C-alpha cells in the first residue's frame, strides 16, 4: 500500500512538473519564428559589441546607451569586461558612440548597468539613473551628466529591501523614480523556481527619499517601464505574459490599472516617440533562443510601434524584424528626429535613418 501511495504521489509530481514545463515553453514562445522586416539606411554601431540593453534620448538628441549587461542566466560576448555608459549625438551627420568618463570613487570594475532613465530638473541639470548589478546585486545609481566634459558625476547609490531584483527605471524627479522588479526573490535558484512556477509576484516600486512603496503588483515578470508624454500614465511591460499594462498615476504617486494590451511576443523595454507619443517596444520573438544561446540558431529581434495606446483599439505595427543574422535579442528601440536606435541584450546595436 505504501509503495502504491508513493508511486501515485510521484506520478502527480511528474505531471505537475510536465505541465509547468509546457507552460514555460508557451510563455517563452519557444516555437515562434519571425519573418524579416527590413529598414533602409541602417548600420551596426561601431563600439557596441556586447549589448546595449537600454537607450534613453534627451530632447536635444543626445542618446545614452547602457552597455555590457551580464546576468548569470545570459550569454555574454565580453564576460570579463565591465559595463559602461555610451553617448551618441544624433544631431551629427555621422554620429559615433563615445564612452562617458565616470567620476573617481565609483567602482567601475563591478559596473553592470541595466535599465536607464534621464531626468531634466528645472535648472536644466540632467540626471542619469542607472540600474546596476555589481556582483549580481541590485542598486540604483544616480549621476549628474556634465555635457562639456562628456562625463558622469556619481551622486548617490540607492539600495532598498523593496528593490530586490530591479530591471528598469523611469525617473520622475532628481531622486525620485518608479522601478520594476522582474523577480520577487534575489537568490538565483529562487528566481528560477519563481519563474518556473509562474507565481506572478513581481511588482513596480515608487522610490523617493521620504517614501518607498509598492504601487503595482501581480506581474509575471515586470520589465520595461516608461511614462506618457503628459505624465499621467505609467506603461509597464510584462515580458513573460506578453503584455503592456497602462496604469494611471495619482498625486500620491500610487498607480491604478487602466488597461492591458496583449501581444504575441516577449516585450522588453518601452520608449516614447517624442514626435507622436507612440510607444516603441523592443521585443524577443522567441525567449528560449534568448536564454539558451546557440550561435547556429541565434535569438531574433523585433520592434513594435503602438499608436493610440490609450484607445480601445490601439494600432500595433512591426517596425523591424530580423532572424538574428544582423541583430540578436533586441531589447529596446528609441527614436529621435526620424533616427531609430535599436539595442540588444548582449549583441550589437543598430542605427537607422528613416
* Positions marked catalytic: 114
Q: Cell numbers at residue 77, please? A: 560576448
B/e letters for 3-39, b = 16+ CB within 10 Å, e = fewer, are eeeeeeeeeeeeeeeeeeeeebeebbbeebebeeeeb
Q: Where is the binding site for Ca(2+), in residues? A: 53-54, 116, 167-168, 223, 268-269
Q: Residue 200, by phi and psi: left (phi above 0), alpha (psi -120 to 50) or beta?
A: left
DSSP class of residue 74 equals S
Of 267, 195, 198, 264, give the one whose Cα is nearest residue 237.
267
Tell me the three state secondary structure of residue 178: strand
Please check whether residue 143 is in contact with residue 161, taking contact to mean a CB–CB distance below 8 angstroms: no
Considering all CA atoms of the chain, what is the largest pairwise distance in Å, rounded to the nearest integer? 80
Please check whether residue 236 is in contact with residue 277, taking contact to mean a CB–CB distance below 8 angstroms: no
Q: Where is the binding site, in residues? A: 53-54, 116, 167-168, 223, 268-269
B/e letters for 216-236, b = 16+ CB within 10 Å, e = fewer, are beebbbbbbbbbbeeeebbbb
Q: How many angstroms separate the CA atoms of 14 and 174, rounded?
A: 51
Angle at 194 between CA 190 and CA 195, to 5 degrees: 120
Q: Cell numbers at residue 34, please? A: 519571425
Q: Cell numbers at residue 142, please? A: 544616480
Q: How many angstroms separate the CA atoms of 236 and 255, rounded?
A: 11
Q: The dihedral of CA 288, 293, 298, 300: what is its sign? A: positive
Amino acid at each position: 500500500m505504501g509503495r502504491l501511495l508513493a508511486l501515485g504521489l510521484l506520478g502527480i509530481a511528474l505531471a505537475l512538473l510536465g505541465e509547468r514545463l509546457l507552460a514555460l515553453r508557451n510563455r517563452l514562445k519557444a516555437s515562434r519564428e519571425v519573418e524579416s522586416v527590413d529598414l533602409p539606411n541602417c548600420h551596426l554601431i561601431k563600439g557596441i559589441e556586447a549589448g546595449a540593453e537600454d537607450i534613453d534620448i534627451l530632447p536635444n538628441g543626445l542618446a545614452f546607451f547602457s552597455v555590457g549587461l551580464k546576468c548569470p542566466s545570459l550569454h555574454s560576448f565580453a564576460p570579463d569586461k565591465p559595463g559602461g555608459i555610451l553617448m551618441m549625438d544624433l544631431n551629427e551627420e555621422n554620429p559615433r558612440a563615445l564612452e562617458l568618463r565616470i567620476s573617481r570613487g565609483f567602482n567601475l570594475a563591478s559596473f553592470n548597468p541595466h535599465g536607464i532613465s534621464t531626468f531634466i530638473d528645472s535648472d536644466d541639470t540632467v540626471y542619469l539613473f542607472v540600474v546596476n548589478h555589481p556582483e549580481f546585486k541590485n542598486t540604483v545609481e544616480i549621476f549628474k551628466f556634465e555635457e562639456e566634459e562628456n562625463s558622469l558625476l556619481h551622486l548617490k547609490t540607492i539600495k532598498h529591501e523593496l528593490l530586490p531584483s530591479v530591471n528598469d527605471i523611469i525617473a520622475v524627479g532628481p531622486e525620485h523614480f518608479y522601478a520594476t522588479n522582474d523577480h520577487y526573490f534575489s537568490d538565483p535558484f529562487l528566481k528560477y523556481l519563481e519563474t518556473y512556477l509562474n507565481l506572478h509576484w513581481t511588482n513596480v516600486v515608487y522610490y523617493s527619499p521620504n517614501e518607498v512603496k509598492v504601487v503595482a503588483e501581480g506581474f509575471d515578470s515586470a520589465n520595461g517601464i516608461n511614462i506618457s508624454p503628459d505624465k499621467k500614465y505609467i506603461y509597464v511591460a510584462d515580458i513573460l505574459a506578453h503584455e503592456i499594462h497602462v496604469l494611471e498615476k495619482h498625486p500620491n504617486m500610487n498607480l491604478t490599472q487602466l488597461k492591458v494590451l496583449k501581444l504575441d511576443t516577449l516585450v522588453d523595454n518601452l520608449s516614447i516617440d517624442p514626435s507622436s507619443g507612440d510607444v516603441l517596444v523592443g521585443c524577443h520573438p522567441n525567449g528560449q533562443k534568448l536564454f539558451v544561446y546557440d550561435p547556429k540558431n541565434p535569438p531574433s529581434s523585433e520592434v513594435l510601434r503602438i499608436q493610440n495606446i490609450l484607445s480601445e483599439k490601439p494600432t500595433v505595427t512591426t517596425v523591424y524584424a530580423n532572424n538574428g543574422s544582423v541583430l540578436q535579442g533586441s531589447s529596446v528601440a528609441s527614436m529621435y528626429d526620424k533616427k531609430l536606435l535599436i539595442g540588444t541584450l548582449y549583441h550589437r546595436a543598430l542605427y537607422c535613418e528613416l
